[in-house]
Amino acid sequence: MVSVLVIYDSKTGNTEKAAFLIAEGVSSVKGVNCVVKKVDKTDLDDLLGADGIMIGSPTYYGGMSAKVKDLIDRSVVIHGKLEGKVGAAFTTSGGTATGAETTLLSIVKAMLIHGMIIKGNPRDKHYGLAVVEAPESEEDKKLCREFGRSFADLTLKISRIPSQ
């Protein structure tokens, strides 16, 4: 079975709500197991054991939270061991044009440095999922679930490719 790890940091609960809605989408894909963990309960073995890793952070001054940054900083000891895993980022922010895209890119850059395959979206929210405040509207909930489902689909496809 393919494993997707959804990691999040959340101070107000907004990013946590997004994480669990995303996990619903991931879990809707047959053959994919989803684990949701708070960033401060996540260790490097969790990253190594997952086929796909999604990281969510509130938007703090246009970047990831200190807790998410700490996990990424600690991941230097497993550098190169995440290569080929699927990655994606999500964030919640206080409004439009408040740094959501730069937050997503701060997470995605770290994933790229690890050699991960990044799930983008050619239609909308190209760099990852961004929600203003909590995902309360039906449209936001649908976006979160669809983001999780499409990520799980890609992770399943990539994981089935035999290594050379």
CA within 13 Å, CB half, 82: 27
- Residue 21's pLDDT is 98
**Tokens 């949701």 sit at which residue?**
36
What tens digit of pLDDT does each residue of 105-142 get? Answer: 999 999 999 999 999 988 888 999 999 999 999 999 99
In the predicted model, residues of the chain with pLDDT beneath 70 are 162-164
- Residue 72's pLDDT is 98
Q: Which domains does the chain have, with CATH numbers?
A: 6-144 (3.40.50.360)
